[in-house]
Amino acid sequence: MSDTHKLEPGQKVNLGEMPADGKDFHDNRKEAEKEFKELRKEFRDLQARLYAEDKRQMLIVFQAMDAGGKDGTIRVITQGVNPQGVRVASFKAPSKKELAHDFLWRIHPHAPARGMISIFNRSHYEDVLVVRVDNLVPESIWRPRYDHINNFEELLVDSKTTILKFYLHIDREEQRERFQERVDIQEKNWKFSFEDLEKRKQWDGYMAAYEEMLEKTTTTYAPWYVIPANQNWY
């Protein structure tokens, strides 16, 4: 795993100053796509070995603002991977039953079993993001969750899970363009919701929540990567 976009524990995070343009890191889209295909081949091979070895497992977490590219990224990285060895879990707003439990209750069953890769499309991190920005619970409830998350992830790592966490970083203008596409292009209409526009107004609140989350939950055993995601080919 390249360390270019990896955060260090204790690092101060200012997303406004962090690159969202992947083109500044790779100047040739064609070349990048070729490299990606090579890497994906390697990923497939390693996944097959992980499954055959059956001794450890991997968790990959994706977080991003709406239209940040989580779905598309998961679709392309898993292409050709043996579906028996990979599970994707998408976390939506919790049900009444889920809300009656602690916030990790619905997450834990989706942690990977031995030999498996779990990919989270959204995750337990929503519980310090949307929950904070929308004031769904008081700060006295969400603030201790950074520690709970770190402890939970430490448990997974101690149980032989490798954890990779990616924040797909787009800027506000890129999000506007992607929403516009969802309106303009019929095949993409289904992805658009008016809630997205409401959320857009909360951009600054989300950036603050993401920044603190990235600072508090980048650990030696489960660091975050902030991936410039304005160009999805990068």
Per CB under 5 A, residues contacting Mg ion are 66
- Tokens standing for residue 110: 């989706």
Q: Which does 164 bind (CB under 5 to 8 A by kind): Mg ion, ligand ATP, none?
A: none
Helix/strand/coil percentages in the chain, nearest 5: 50, 15, 35
Gap between the terminal Cα atoms of the chain: 15
88 binding ligand ATP? (CB under 6 A): no
CB atoms near residue 101 (< 10 Å): 10
Among 92, 96, 97, 201, the residue binding ligand ATP under the rule CB under 6 A is 92
Measure the CA dihedral 97/117/230/33, to 10°: -150
Residue closer to ligand ATP, measured from CB, 5 or 132: 132
CB atoms near residue 36 (< 10 Å): 15
3-state SS assignment for residue 34? helix
234 binding ligand ATP? (CB under 6 A): no
Shortest Å, Cβ 176 to Mg ion: 15
Q: What is the x/- site pattern for ligand ATP, positions 167-206, by CB under 6 A? A: ------------------------x---------------
Stretch binding ligand ATP (CB under 6 A), from 25-33, 46-54, 122-130, 151-159: 122-130
Residue ranges binding ligand ATP (CB under 6 A): 66, 71, 91-94, 122, 126-127, 130-131, 191
